[in-house]
Structure formats: C-alpha cells, structure tokens
Amino acid sequence: MLGELISEYSGKITSVKVLPLDGSGQGVKYEVTQMGELSGRLSGRGVGSNYVQLAADGTSTTKFYGVFTTNDGETLLLESGGMGVHLAPGRVKFRTTATLKSTAAKLAWVNTTPLAFEGEGDFSAMEVVGKLYEWK
C-alpha cells in the first residue's frame, strides 16, 4: 500500500547505451543515464543510471543507482529495482521499490523508510517522470 507522497521526479535522459549481449538469450540490456529533480518533502537535483534488461515480451527488469543533493546541500544515495511494461513505441511504465541513504541527521528518517516509485519513461522526448511514495 502506498503512503505519503515523498517527492515528484522529473528527469531528462542524457544517454542510452546498449550493453554487450551475454549470449544467454535473456534479452537486450541497456543503460539509461539521466539528470533529474526531486520536488516535495525531499527536494533537490541528481544524476543516476538505470540498468534495464528487456525481455522478448516487452516486460523489463530495472535497477537504478543515483546520487542527489538536496536543496539544503545534503547528499542522498538512491537505489531502486523493479519492473517495467511497454506502453507504446519508445514509452515504458515502471514500478520499483526504493531505498534512500543519508548521513545527514535531519534526513535520518530516509535510512529506515521503505519507498515505492511509479513512473514513465518516454524515449522520443528523452524524459522520465514519476512519484516517490512511502511504502506502508
């Protein structure tokens, strides 16, 4: 169950790189790097990379690793993983669970708060948007 909305995310895709095929027949793997902004309870800017494995049926698994700096200058490390589904050519919808880590005393709550992220990516517009929720 989703709880409080923590932040909204808006990002621009800066690069897409197809990764070497491993010969296992598990589908195409690629890396999507993006720069983005969080707004809401947590606000700031950051950069991260999404590692996606696309299956033949259009579903995908995804792992994201990013670092954000809050508007107060504090650092947040973000890791998430989940799955995506194909919506239309160049568009995907995804849901992930996420964890945040920070050494800042005022952000200590993020270290023990499970989070969920829902978003969409649009490769024709080179953008990603989504919402980060507390996961209850």
Instruction: Give the single-character DSSP code of 58.
Output: S
Domain ranges of the chain: 2-135
The dihedral region occupied by 108, where left means phi > 0, alpha psi between -120 and 50, and beta the remainder, is alpha
96 strand-pairing partners: 82, 117
Task: Write the class of the CATH domain 2-135.
Answer: mainly beta
116 strand-pairing partners: 97, 133
> Tell me: the pLDDT tens digits for 76-117?
999 999 999 999 988 999 999 999 999 999 999 999 999 999
The dihedral region occupied by 80, where left means phi > 0, alpha psi between -120 and 50, and beta the remainder, is beta
Tell me which of 2 and 80 has the higher pLDDT. 80
Task: Indicate the pTM of the whole model.
Answer: 0.91
